Structure 1
Amino acid sequence: MGGGGGSMESGEPEFQIAPMIDCLLVLLIFFMSITTAEVLQLDKDIQLPAAPEAKKKEKSKMAEGALNVKWNPKTQKGEINFEGKPYDDVSSLVEVLKVKKANAPDYRIIIRGDRRLPAVEIQRTMSVLGEAGMDDLAFSALNQ
């Protein structure tokens, strides 16, 4: 009877750590898999404008995508990023958005515009969305 740590013969129950680790890993994988694509599309460099009357986003099952528009002070231009991909050429973005709209007629675009952006850049973004036929738009803002 060589001793291991706390066998049943000595009267003390043995604590099994392996099943506990298995459960924790399953939970970790579960929570990683349910992370929405919207969270992955957030750009930490964008400073959202403050809007005291902003309403919290309602949960919906409709398809949506985040369009990040941020100001680059070095080039003095706005940069458009959609689904993690930067678009210097807006005509290619228009084509991507047309496909999204064709696949899901109720597709919504959430515009995450940097508060440092000049109004001209927001107008340019709106023109691109209009050219793509997007009609369900929302602006992201902080309600502070």
Structure 2
Amino acid sequence: MNISTDKRPSEQPTILSKLQDEIDQLPNALARIAKYILENPEKVLRQSVAELGEFAGSGEASILRLCRQIGFTGFRDFKLALAAEVGRHQLAVVSSSGADPAIDQLQQTLMQNLAIAHSNVDLLTLNGSVAKISNSTEIP
């Protein structure tokens, strides 16, 4: 899913619009990462820094440099902000249905929380925990 990076003058620049604005000035490795993120923002939320590096054709250090260059302390901080941005975009699409504003606000909050929770899940740890619980005879 590609999310529009069009900016309205009254809004602060979004992560995706920052990447779009800076992509031509970035070194090749960082530009490849930015291009991949712009084309796959939802997929990036489910990827580790190593997976993103593999898919974008760049190293983990380059990903961290890009995150810092656009104002984040690291990849986790970047993903949290991206999750909120993707959630807001998804809400904007759904909210155009004209539903009750209170329901729209609740839906926005829930979608943002789910996106943030989803970006924080470490699948290896989760799968390991599930396997341990499944194989145990007693849960302390």
**Same structural fold, with TM-score higher than 0.5 when normalized by the shorter chain:** no
Richer in helix (by share)? 2
Richer in strand (by share)? 1
Higher RCO, 1 vs 2 (CA within 8 Å, ≥6 residues apart) = 1
| TM-score bracket, shorter-length normalisation | under 0.3
